Structures are given as structure tokens and as C-alpha cells.
Amino acid sequence: MPESALPMSKTALDRLGTRLMMSDQISSEDRQSLADVVDVYQQILDDVKSRLKSLGYDATTRVKTTGTLIEKLRREGRMRLSQVQDLAGARIIVPDRPTQDDAAARIRSHFEGPDLLCKEVDRRKDPSYGYRALHLIVNVGSVLVEIQIRTDLEDTWAQIMERLADQWGRGIRYGDEPVNPEALVHAGQQVYSRRQAVALLIELGDVIGRFELLRGATMILAQAGELLSRLGKYADQFPQAQDPRLISELPDDEQAAASMLAAGLALVSPPASRPTVDSRNVTFAQIFQVLGASLSAFSEENDAMLIQLGRGEQELRDTLQLIASATGEGE
């Protein structure tokens, strides 16, 4: 980890941010001060990228441009420059939601320490105008770095939104109307107004959220049989209804399998049957209760669901591609 510290105090950094936000023209001194700060952030990002590589993740990194930074400070109003959590950012792309959750756990474990906790921002549960991803804010060398963990579909959606925002106004990412909202654009055989195209893209973000959750559920259920067979030799020793034994008492391999199953089922099971305690402290009785409720809810539809998901993903990607092509102006 680099020992680099910011080239100025937080107070001086905040004053720099205020000047950047309030001034119509940036002085040469402030430009140099910001360049010095960016240099430190880039060093930190290089270290973060290397550490993510050691965990098996290829990351892209970026420091916000001056224009984007000023835009954010003005949009947020009262935010100080030292509080900007995404001035330095890294991004990794994973195939699906279970892998996304696993990546977050591994990265958190790597960067956290006794007195250094990662902050999680789950934009899957709290999306921002269609944008979904899982963000971790880590502290490296006294600098906050945002690590974005996106699924492939989430990243495709975000890249298309960025492309349209560059042409139709950056504010569309935050709910603003596009520039010339009634201007017509061609998307394949379809013709939309810019307003309609942005609304459709935001709606597709919601579709992606539901799709990712459903696909994650089918993956978890596909693994349930194998995981249960590993636990069966323990469960058979006790009457399930009275079984008080906890997962944390199992040997390490079976404990890991049971914890994975408990965490996954807590995500996809009906709310009334979800375990309400830490997954390592779930009893066998709870595991089998939740599994039964989940399999009952999904098993009859699971095969058809997998087929539909395959078709649905292709249709979703096709529609996203149509929106991505919505750059040619109509008559």
C-alpha cells in the first residue's frame, strides 16, 4: 500500500473544492493544486488495481475529470471535496448476482481491518434512475476509493446511459429531461422521442434488477441439492423439529456449504420463512424449513423459468442495443 498522503490538509482541500464550485474560471494555482491531488489519487488507484488483480479481478480505474468533479459539487450543493467518495474509482465486471455478492465479500475482507471498515452502497436495492450496481467505499492511504462491482447486464445498461448522457445532457442520469426532449431518434425500426428513449432505458434498468434476482434464485436452487446432500449425514442424526444444532458447529467444509445455502435462501425465500439470524448461526431445522418453502415455490416453474430467462436475456440485450443505437436524429 502506498504511503502517499494528500498534498494538503482536508481544510485546504475543501477550500479548493469551494473555489472550483463557485468560480466561472479556474485559476492556474487551483489547477495545479487539483493536479497534485489527482496525482496522489492515481497512485492510490494503481495500488488498488494491483490488489484487485491479486484477488483475481481485472479492474478499470479512473479519477474524475475536473468538469465532472465540479458538476458533482454543484449538484450536491453542500458536499465538501474531502467527502467525495467516488473521486477515485475502480470497476470490476462479473457475470451474475451471486458472483457479485461473492466479489463484494472477498474485496471487503481484503481491505477491511480492525479499525478500517468498508462502506457498502447497494444500488441494486436502492437504484438511482435505473442505475444498479454494488459499490464498496474503501480507505487506502488516507484516500477514499469507490470500487464498483457490476454484473455484465448492469454495466451494459450504465454504458448506454453514459453514451446518451454525453449527447443529450448529463442530467438525464439524475432524472432531468434530455436536451430537446421531443426530438425524434431512430432505434432500429422504432422511432422514439428522446424523452421516451430515456424513460424506456430507465424501465429496462428495473427489468434488469428483477431478471438478475430471478437468475440468482435459479442458480442457488440448482446448487441446493448438492449442498443438502453434504449436510444430510448430519441432519439424519437428529429429529429435525427439535434439532438445536448450529451450522457453526459443523466441520469447516460443511459449514461453508451450509452458510452459503442459508445466505442464498435468505435472498430468494418467501419473507415469512427467511432466517432472521446470521447465516452461521442458522439451525438445521431452519435450513430445511427455508429450503422446503423455497423449493415448493420454485420447483414446478424452475425448468420453464430457465428457458424463459435465456430468452429474456437475449430480448433484454436486443432492446438495450436498440436504445444504444438511438443517436440518429429523425426528420
pLDDT along the chain (331 residues), means of 10: 58 78 79 79 87 94 75 71 74 92 92 82 92 92 86 92 89 91 82 88 87 77 63 55 58 65 57 50 60 55 59 77 66 35
The pLDDT assigned to 331 comes to 35
Contact 147, 92 (CB under 8 A): yes
- Within 10 angstroms of residue 140's Cβ, the number of other Cβ atoms is 20
Q: Please, what sign has the CA dihedral across residues 303, 306, 312, 318?
A: negative
The pLDDT assigned to 280 comes to 53
The pLDDT assigned to 40 comes to 80
The pLDDT assigned to 37 comes to 78
The pLDDT assigned to 1 comes to 38
The pLDDT assigned to 166 comes to 87
Nearest to 75 by CA among 189, 222, 174, 144: 174
What's the pLDDT tens digit per position in 205-226?
888 888 888 787 777 666 666 6
> pTM above 0.75?
no
The pLDDT assigned to 100 comes to 93
The pLDDT assigned to 177 comes to 94
Nearest to 254 by CA among 226, 274, 278, 273: 226
| The CATH number of domain 10-151, selected from 3.30.420.40, 3.30.2130.10, 3.40.50.720, 3.30.460.10 | 3.30.460.10
Domain borders along the chain are 10-151, 208-316
